Structure 1
Amino acid sequence: MAPSAENKLTGLAAATFTPFSPNGEVNLVQIGPYVDYLKEKQGVNSIFVNGTTGECMSLTIAERKILAEEWCLKAKDKLDYVIVHVGCMSLKDAKELAAHAAQIGANAIAVMAPFFLKPSTAGALRSFLQEVASAAPTLPFYYYHIPVITGVNFPVRDLLVGIQELIPSFSGVKFTGMDLMDFGQCVDNCPPQWSLLYGVDEQLLAALAMGADGAVGSTYNYLGTHANKLIAAFKLGEVVQAREIQFKMQQLLSFAMKVGFNVGVNKQLMIELSGLSLGPPRLPVMPCCSEDAKLIVAKYQQIFTEC
């Protein structure tokens, strides 16, 4: 069932990396320490697993299941919220993953639009999401909007028209897009029990000003403490302080983007900052050389020394 306005998801959720062994196999052993690191070192109490950062489309259905199981198991009694991304190119695969997420105790599921044979209209996408949600009708359901990956870029506001009648468990949107007008229209027209979660980390403050309930992002794996300070400052009306933290985050990400800020670079940065053994990304994503990662770490240390 969809959450109420009192218990809806707010705050930060880390989009987790998938731990691999050096030879490219899923490494479940690292998930327990990863959960502890997020909670104890970053103050992050929610996670979004098997998403873009987790290289979901490079995983088999079996791998996604065992990962979801382990994340839910290790997060139990430690983290507040585990969202499992179940989007696939195949409707049947997505429904299978949705049903599995319900069986293993996930708190919610999310689905991005299929992007090989793309939905041509908002109505077509609504029908796809409805079918996936029907496989796990008791779980809160989120639409994962990420047009830079999917190429599906009609306004999310159009998608949301009438969606709760089709999907009673619909609970909100993970909005990983740059269009703050569309995001604002979603906030303005959504019921209070939905969660509007923003997914472009370098624009978090702007999204909060537009009414975001929280955020999901890869950098919150290692910038969680700073992002939490930003959110706290914003809530207190300390906009100048919040802006200073956002600018520092932008400085780091701008520097990283010059190196080529893809999943491989991002994952190596997480490894350097956390000390976790997360392994390389899976081909075709190329690993980041440790020298480049160390340059970004040095920039992080320079920027956040006084933050």
Structure 2
Amino acid sequence: MASPKRLQGLTAATITPMTPDGEINLSVIGQYVDYLVKEQGVKNVFVNGTTGEGLALSTQERKQLAEEWVTKGKNKLDHVIIHVGALSLPEAKELAKHAAAIGASGIAGIAPFFFKPTNKDTLVAFLREVASEAPGIPFYYYHIPPLTGVKIRVEELLDGIKEQIPTFQGVKFSDTDLLDFAQCVKNHKEQFVLLYGVDEHLLSALAMGASGAVGSTYNYLGKKNNLMLEAFAKQDLTLAQQYQFCTGEFLSFVFKLGFGVAQTKAVMTFTSGIPMGPPRLPLLSASVDFIEKAKAKMASLIL
């Protein structure tokens, strides 16, 4: 599935469908692909990341999901990026090697989050080891300090990284530090893909010069966000703001109810009609009250 196209626009951080008893449900991935492409206009996916509960899955389950997305996405999706971040370096390297072997468009890795790197050189050394297992496909750094606790600035990380990691292609920037993001754009946009990962701030990131975005809401609000991208490209800021406010209205509402990966699965289920099933412990399924209120709010969204 390796694609010559530069990754841009919206990328859906995929949700991992599960059966009622908590096993991964590969049978709906084909339906999921068609829904993203036809209903949301999203043709890039980020598999086994935070939204996909990647770190709650076994290595074998992650491989199976990666294979299914690559297979079902062939000739339909532009990019299938496999997240290979793991608790250990050997596991991350194994997943990277597998992703390359099955024809993924690229891989992404996060910083180690138990024994944490304390400086840029240590982090780059770790990422280089992971990327070396997939020398023929692009490598992306998944920057998410709220979950990893690693706050090494991306601006600093990008300086000279191509010499260390020849396949380095860009960053999934899942943080609200727009100063750091802006410096990345200013100094590195011509060389790297800079994808923003905080959905409710996307318009701000576009103004800074983001290449595109990776996020969970593009699973079910992809169409509205694509319209926002179009409005921004046409320099119609007023219309772009209206679309961003629409997304923000929904997220602001559900945040107050308690919103996370488990609730995202519920929203995707009632929006798409594809059963996403329960999350893995320690996450708990969304309550009936949440589902009813979120469903009503989604139905009320008007541009």
Does the pair score TM above 0.5?
A: yes
CA distance in 2, matches of 1:272, 1:153: 36
Query: Match of 1:84?
Result: 82
Quote the RMSD (CA, aligned, Å): 1.2
1:146-295 alignment, distance < 5 Å: 146-190=144-188, 192-295=190-293
Query: Match of 1:52?
Result: 50
1:17-36 alignment, distance < 5 Å: 17-36=15-34
> Could you give the per-residue CA deviations for residues 82-112 of structure 1, whole angstroms, max 9, x where no partner exists?
0000011211110100000000010000001
Please report how far the alpha carbon of residue 162 of structure 1 lies from its aligned counterpart in structure 2 after TM superposition.
1.1
CA distance in 1, matches of 2:179, 2:3: 26
Query: Match of 1:9?
Result: 7
CA distance in 1, matches of 2:3, 2:33: 24
SS, match of residue 84 in structure 1: strand
> Could you give the per-residue CA deviations for residues 171-202 of structure 1, whole angstroms, max 9, x where no partner exists?
00000000001001111111524210000000
Q: How many matched pairs?
A: 302
Please report how far the alpha carbon of residue 3 of structure 1 lies from its aligned counterpart in structure 2 after TM superposition.
8.4
SS, match of residue 73 in structure 1: helix
> Could you give the per-residue CA deviations for residues 9-62 of structure 1, whole angstroms, max 9, x where no partner exists?
110000000011100011100111000100010000000000000001100111
Please report how far the alpha carbon of residue 291 of structure 1 lies from its aligned counterpart in structure 2 after TM superposition.
2.6
TM-score when scaled to structure 2? 0.98
Counterpart of 2:176 in structure 1: which amino acid?
M
SS, match of residue 34 in structure 1: helix
CA distance in 1, matches of 2:252, 2:89: 37
Sequence identity, in percent?
55
SS, match of residue 125 in structure 2: helix
Task: Flag the 1:267–1:169 CA change in 2: closer, same or farther, 3 A.
Answer: same
SS, match of residue 154 in structure 1: coil
SS, match of residue 51 in structure 1: coil
1:133-152 alignment, distance < 5 Å: 133-152=131-150
CA distance in 1, matches of 2:6, 2:137: 13
CA distance in 1, matches of 2:17, 2:158: 34
Please report how far the alpha carbon of residue 123 of structure 1 lies from its aligned counterpart in structure 2 after TM superposition.
1.1
SS, match of residue 240 in structure 1: helix
CA distance in 2, matches of 1:97, 1:108: 12
Counterpart of 1:129 in structure 2: which amino acid?
L
CA distance in 2, matches of 1:224, 1:62: 30
CA distance in 2, matches of 1:222, 1:290: 19
Please report how far the alpha carbon of residue 277 of structure 1 lies from its aligned counterpart in structure 2 after TM superposition.
1.0
Q: Does the CA contact (< 8 Å) of 2:3 and 2:105 recur in 1?
A: no
CA distance in 2, matches of 1:246, 1:3: 30
SS, match of residue 144 in structure 1: strand
Q: Does the CA contact (< 8 Å) of 1:268 and 1:290 recur in 2?
A: no
Runs of 4+ aligned structure 1 residues displaced above 4 Å come to none
CA distance in 2, matches of 1:30, 1:277: 8
Q: Does the CA contact (< 8 Å) of 1:8 and 1:193 recur in 2?
A: no
Please report how far the alpha carbon of residue 300 of structure 1 lies from its aligned counterpart in structure 2 after TM superposition.
1.5
TM-score when scaled to structure 1? 0.96
SS, match of residue 140 in structure 2: strand
CA distance in 1, matches of 2:296, 2:85: 36
SS, match of residue 78 in structure 1: coil
Q: Does the CA contact (< 8 Å) of 2:3 and 2:79 recur in 1?
A: no
CA distance in 1, matches of 2:113, 2:94: 19
Task: Flag the 1:256–1:131 CA change in 2: closer, same or farther, 3 A.
Answer: same
Q: Does the CA contact (< 8 Å) of 1:46 and 1:82 recur in 2?
A: yes
CA distance in 1, matches of 2:244, 2:137: 33
Q: Does the CA contact (< 8 Å) of 1:45 and 1:80 recur in 2?
A: yes
Structure 2 spans left out of the alignment, 5+ residues: none
